[in-house]
Amino acid sequence: MQNSFPYIDILIFGVIAIFLIFRLKNILGTKTGFEETNVNKKNEDKQFTNVVSLKSNKGDVVDLELNKIINIDPSFDVNDFLSGSKNFFGMVLESFVSGNLENIKEFTKLSVYKSFKSAIDERKKEKETLIIDLKSIKENKIIKATITKTSIKLNVAFETFQIRALIDKNDQIIDGDTDNEILVKDEWVFERKIKDSNPNWTLVETKSN
């Protein structure tokens, strides 16, 4: 029985050693192979700023189409496009309210331009005054991208807070409210011809929810 004690001591020390090894691994961490991947990803993001990061579900389809656009036109930048569309959104509202569409005519499809002008003419005929005060833009994102052999179309969703009101010739509010903001949801479609030397996008359709 006495000769068996050294073996028990060895077994106990072995168990302690194994425990310490696992304990150190938990504290210091282990290399999994993801470290190099993450570093490479950061480098790729720095070098290729136009690459759209892939998301999930419906966003995957949109992002894949956007990456196809970048392959067709490497100068295309998603952030620049969205910034431009946001500025243009404000321009259109201002032009529509003032009744002067000259600033946006060049960037608007003829049918859309005529629709805007018809609404303005009707308003002037009734001697009505339109108030649209764009307070803030909550959301401005591409929700659909369509590529054909000749053109690229991008559907952009705008969610904005506005004060809107329509005032008649007797200065009475007949629609809307001049005091309270409302959430307005729009979807605008922009198009650009692939082989056209003109780099500008054209507003070809507007929808309101």
Q: Over its length of 209 residues, how does the chain's per-residue pLDDT go in tens digits? A: 444 445 555 555 554 545 444 443 333 333 333 333 343 444 344 333 333 333 334 567 788 899 999 999 898 999 999 999 999 999 999 999 999 999 999 999 999 999 999 999 999 999 999 999 999 999 999 999 999 999 999 999 999 999 999 999 999 999 999 999 999 999 999 999 998 888 899 999 999 87
Q: What is the pLDDT of residue 6?
A: 54
Which CATH number applies to 55-208: 3.10.450.240, 3.30.310.10, 3.40.50.300, 3.40.190.10? 3.10.450.240
How far CA 31 is from CA of 24, 25, 39, 90, 154, in Å, comes to: 13, 10, 14, 51, 43
CB 188 within 8 A of CB 143: no
Q: Is 145 exposed, middle or buried (0-12, 13-18, 19+ CB in 10 A)?
A: buried
